[in-house]
Amino acid sequence: MLLEKINSDIVEAMKAKDSLRTETLRMVKSALNYVKIEKKKEILDDEDVLAIISKQVKQHKESVESFEKGGRAELADKEKKELVILESYMPKQISHEEVNKIIKETVREVGAAGKKDFGKVMKAVSAKLKNQADGKVVSRIVGEELSKIENA
């Protein structure tokens, strides 16, 4: 289970005196405990854990962007290092070509006729890709595909 791996990695990081890794994984564990209380669950499954880590990955990416725009390189670097640690727990990201292929298949399956079907297509694509591709990229590609259909 992913939760057990995170717990054992915290212990390893503490033994190795890797403060950044320890701090990052404790932050994840804290978020997991918060969700556990919120959902009134005894144990979180891997899907819940991945959803939380995915949310933190997104937050870190946004922070890196903000810090770089604000000229805070040292904070951006720290966020990037934490991001690498978090991403190591995420499923392997699929290639841009694979994402394109899945989106085109889904557009056909759903029978999308244009931009008005954006939500329907995104829902189906999200279910297929589950944390394997960046949501912004997927959204952009879906929009492009639906524009092609509309303009054809």
**Domain residue extents for the chain:** 2-87, 96-151
Classify residue 62 by burial, with Cβ atoms within 10 Å: 0-12, 13-18, 19+. Answer: exposed
pLDDT in tens, 30-76: 999 999 998 888 888 888 898 899 899 989 999 999 999 999 999 99
CB atoms within 10 A of CB 78: 18
Give the Cα separation of 53 and 83 in Å (integer): 10
Topology (CATH level 3) of domain 96-151: Arc Repressor Mutant, subunit A (1.10.10)
pLDDT at 83: 94
| Structure tokens belonging to residue 65 | 């962007």
Res 151 pLDDT > 80? no
Per-residue HEC secondary structure of 21-56 comes to HHHHHHHHHHHHHHHHHHCCCCCCCHHHHHHHHHHH
pLDDT in tens, 108-143: 888 888 788 888 888 888 888 877 787 788 888 888
> Could you tell me how many helices (H) and strands (E) the chain has, helices first?
7, 0
Q: If you compute the radius of gyration of the chain from its CA atoms, what whole number of angstroms results?
A: 19
pLDDT at 29: 94
Q: pTM of the full predicted structure? A: 0.72
Residues in the chain: 152
Topology (CATH level 3) of domain 2-87: Hypothetical Protein Yqey; Chain: A; domain1 (1.10.1510)
Using alpha carbons, select from 107, 96, 108 the residue that is nearest to residue 138: 96
